[in-house]
Amino acid sequence: MLLNKGDKLLFIGDSITDCERKRPEGEGLFGALGKGYVSLVDALLQAVYPELGIRVVNKGLGGNTVRDLNGRWQEDVLNHQPDWLAIMIGINDVWRQFDTPFIKEWHVYADEYETTLRKLVSETKPTVKGLVLMTPFYLESNEQDGMRAMMDQYGSIVRKIAEENDVIFIDTQAAFNVVLEELYSATLAWDRVHPTAAGHMVLARAFLDNIGFEWKR
């Protein structure tokens, strides 16, 4: 288990991370962490590792791109001084190119995505014990689908940055692909983006597996 006693673990991203978390701070009781994978990670850490007292904070914000993260990075990440940081961003960076193709100023193309994500990682890595980069995903089995192909391209950028900085890399698309061998995509996400409870469990499991979580202790 890579997390230590009393560590603060902060998650940041878009609506997949947000999942109706409490405003202004996604931390505490009564659904403060939202209804998604962040709350599942927190519940499992409490249930299996209660002695560690891991503090989980959710700073996801629906609709965000990496450009938006850059704009709120100081307030929502650095000011919190987390011990561990998990970043999952990129779905909207890609999606806006498909659902609003004519509003070019909303689009975050691959070069900006890579430059901005690399900047955030490089300036944050020295301040934390551990950093986790999670790829964006699209729940579409057909790899030739235009949005799925572009999402895979952005996922490859995340992999490259993770390798360059020697931080933990989680291929969420690969985790979903295993389940998609048996289930139709709509059973995991009606719009192929926003997961069901089962889809969020796929994300939580992928995250925990990559931080050394022991399911049987």
| Enzyme catalytic residues | 15, 191, 194
**Are 193 and 138 a contacting pair, CB within 8 Å?**
yes
Strand order in the sheet with 55-58: 55-58, 8-13, 84-88, 130-134, 168-170
Closest to 45 in 3D by CA, of 216, 217, 170, 213: 213
- Integer Cα distance of 217 and 200 in angstroms: 23
DSSP assigned state of 5: T
Q: Which residues contact 16 (CB under 8 A, 6 or more apart)?
A: 36, 37, 60, 88, 91, 193, 194, 195, 203
Closest to 133 in 3D by CA, of 111, 110, 165, 174: 165
- Integer Cα distance of 214 and 2 in angstroms: 11
Q: Which residues contact 153 (CB under 8 A, 6 or more apart)?
A: 110
The number of C-alpha atoms within 13 Å of 130 and in the hemisphere containing its C-beta is 18
- Integer Cα distance of 171 and 91 in angstroms: 14
